[in-house]
Structure 1
Amino acid sequence: MNKIKLKLSQFLKRIDNQWQQLSLEKQHQYLLTFFLVYGLFSVIVFIKIGFDVASNKESIHVEHIKQPFQNSKDSNSVIDSSSTIHKKM
Structure 2
Amino acid sequence: MKTLRKSIQLWFDRLDERWRNLPMKTQHRYTLWFFTGYFILSVMVILNVFISSGRQGREIRIEHIENPIFKQPNPAGTIMDSSNLNQFK
TM bin (shorter chain): 0.5 to 0.7
Q: Where has structure 1 moved over 4 Å in runs of 4 or more?
A: 60-63
Aligned residue pairs, count: 66
Deviation at residue 34 of structure 1 after TM alignment: 0.2
User: Are 2:47 and 1:47 aligned?
Assistant: yes
Summarize the Cα distance change of 1:61–1:42 in structure 2 as closer, same or farther, 3 Å threshold.
Answer: closer
Separation of aligned partners in 2, 1:47 and 1:56: 16
Q: Pick the structure with greater CA Rg.
A: 1
Q: Deviations over 1:1-45 (max 9, x none)?
A: 110011011101100000000010000000000000000000001
Separation of aligned partners in 1, 2:23 and 2:45: 33
Q: Deviations over 1:36-57 (max 9, x none)?
A: 0000000001111100001142
Summarize the Cα distance change of 1:8–1:60 in structure 2 as closer, same or farther, 3 Å threshold.
Answer: closer
Identity of aligned residues (%): 26
Aligned counterparts, 1:62-77, within 5 A = none
Q: List gaps (5 residues or longer) in structure 1.
A: 64-77, 80-89
After TM superposition, the score normalised by the length of structure 2 is 0.65
* Greater share of helix: 2
